[in-house]
Structure 1
Amino acid sequence: MSSPEDEALALAAVDALTGQLALAPKPGLPDPRDLGARATRKDHCSLRWSAKALAPGLAAMAAAARRTGEPSPQLRAELGAIGRCTEHSVGLAGGGHRGALWALGLLVAAAALDPAARSEDVTATAKKIAAHRDRRVPRRPSRGSSVSAKYGAAGARGEARAGFPHVRRALAALAESRTAGAAEVEARLDALLTVMSTLQDTELLYTAGPLGLRHVQAGARGVLEAGGTATDAGREALLALDADLHARAWSPRGSAGLLAGALFVDALASSVSSRARAA
């Protein structure tokens, strides 16, 4: 049974995911502008609705971590079982968020194991959990695993087993943009572009191949090299990249899920700092 602390972690993770969804413009990704487009209204609305369906599963993952008390094979197996049930619930609510669920589930569990952990400790603990093999996972290959095998990309599992390097990169980009005076929306968009610029996104590899992936990475780097989204040149480059990816129907979904993970860890860090100041 989940505790108020478990539920608070789950809600923080859902808030991070809905915060990612609220950003605009996100190159090739659903955002609030879609609410004004008849053809895509259902897509974006259903993503916002189904994001809330993750909360019970994430709370159960946090509870499993507190009960287990360590990043053990047993915890990894429990998280996998809870995750598969949650995927089914999310599917009934509209679908989506599979990559975000994987990242957020591990990070929520890691945060539950040590509520006072710093950002780097949370990702390091998530790495320890992900290092264990889930022996109950269905043996049928997923699209992501097939693409990873074909192109040698790390994929979602590789990202987790490496300690979420792109979550850490996004956190660094958030801090840098905020320090430079960027508004919060601009800082978050810069963090998304930072992830896009280097991530071997299996969704993009599936739809666009290696050349398409490199095209997207170069476009993201171009926005950052122009000064980021807080500058006129960077904003112009962002809008051009957004139009290009929507025209090609290329979607960097892996980057979006990792940004949600970074926003969750960032919120945890703020909460820990607030508690420290209060003490």
Structure 2
Amino acid sequence: MRCAFLYADRPLATAQPAAADIADRAVDALIAEARVTPKPALVDERGSGAHRDLDLMTMLRSARALRPTFLAIARAASGEAPSQALRERLARIGREGEAAMLRATDGSNAHRGAIWIVGLLCAGAAMHAPGDTEAICSSAALIARHEDRFAPASAETSHGARVAARFRVAGARGEAREGFLHALRIGLPALDDARRRGLAENDARLDALVAIIASLDDTCLLHRGGMKALVIAKKGARRVLQSGGAGSREGRAALAALDAELLALNASPGGAADLLAATLFLDSLRQSSS
């Protein structure tokens, strides 16, 4: 049974974290994702990857500019249950957050996907105890399954929406409605496994990212490089994992090869990066409860 149906009838927890703490952890997760290095064709400590209009400092400005958005989302969801009204209120806050992001980045899209993915998880986190990742994802998914009746027409013609329709993939909307399974069932287990094997934290996070890339039908890759880019990314990510992951010499060589292949196509796994940020956010919440 998918995460979105697991806890539909569970009462909201009474030990929710404070909204300010949720917002801080969300921003920290975006910053942590940006700093993970070396990521294939993505902005990191080395440079801009396949993104000519972004660099690390721009990503960090964007992340910090989104704190008021995440704070407003957590406050709006605190003490609430998933509903149409809440969905539309959060959408309004998210659109304001997108405007703040664009101001901070001089018009570059650093975190549009993350506003949706991590924003919904902030709402779920405001409803449940921080260690209950299943319930957090479930409530966030239930919110996402409501339609936003006030969404601008441009939402249906965005790159992600067009690509999802063309290639018949879930996209960011489907990922949320199905319960953030790439964060919950792939990212977190990969992170935990890498840590158990004694990997450095950066390498553990790289392994989580690569595991997500190997499975995700990433609309960012599809938009920038078509099905060819998606196939190359998935195969390359599997090679990294089969070669021992980011903590091994062979795995790091396979990761470098994947980076080169995607750069040659000017394509990057931005959807996977957003889900790594979601993974790190959920991980931070559960660590705060232990």
Q: Does 1:34 align with 2:47?
A: yes
Letter in 2 for 1:158: G
| CA apart distance, 1:122 | 1.2
| CA apart distance, 1:116 | 4.2
Matches of 1:81 and 1:223, distance apart in 2: 40
| CA apart distance, 1:240 | 1.5
**Is the 2:218–2:271 Cα contact (8 Å) retained in structure 1?**
yes
Equivalent position to 2:164, from 148, 156, 163: 148
1:1-279, aligned counterparts within 5 Å? 5-34=18-47, 43-67=55-79, 69-94=80-105, 95=108, 96-140=110-154, 141-168=157-184, 169-273=186-290
| CA apart distance, 1:51 | 1.0
Task: Find the residue that maps to 1:230 and give its secondary structure.
Answer: coil
Matches of 1:147 and 1:41, distance apart in 2: 21
| CA apart distance, 1:44 | 2.3
Number of equivalenced pairs: 267
Task: State TM-score, norm by structure 1.
Answer: 0.92
Question: Unaligned regions of 5+ residues in structure 1, if any?
Answer: 274-279
Letter in 2 for 1:123: C
Matches of 2:164 and 2:224, distance apart in 1: 13
| CA apart distance, 1:246 | 2.1
Letter in 1 for 2:170: A
**Is the 2:225–2:266 Cα contact (8 Å) retained in structure 1?**
no
Matches of 1:199 and 1:264, distance apart in 2: 19
Runs of 4 or more consecutive aligned structure 1 residues displaced over 2 Å after TM superposition = 39-44
Task: Find the residue that maps to 2:101 and give its secondary structure.
Answer: helix
Task: State TM-score, norm by structure 2.
Answer: 0.88
| CA apart distance, 1:41 | 9.3
**Is the 2:41–2:263 Cα contact (8 Å) retained in structure 1?**
yes
Matches of 2:88 and 2:60, distance apart in 1: 28
Matches of 2:224 and 2:115, distance apart in 1: 21
Q: 1:150 to 1:61 in 2, by over 3 A?
A: same
Task: Find the residue that maps to 1:167 and give its secondary structure.
Answer: helix
Greater fraction of residues in helix: 1
Task: Find the residue that maps to 1:197 and give its secondary structure.
Answer: helix
| CA apart distance, 1:244 | 2.2
Letter in 2 for 1:105: G
Matches of 2:144 and 2:131, distance apart in 1: 18
State the percentage of identical aligned residues: 44
- Larger deviation: 185-194 or 125-134? 125-134
1:30-61 Cα distance to aligned partner (Å, 9 max, x none)? 101118x9x96963211111110110010000
Cα root mean square deviation, aligned: 1.7
**Is the 1:111–1:117 Cα contact (8 Å) retained in structure 2?**
no
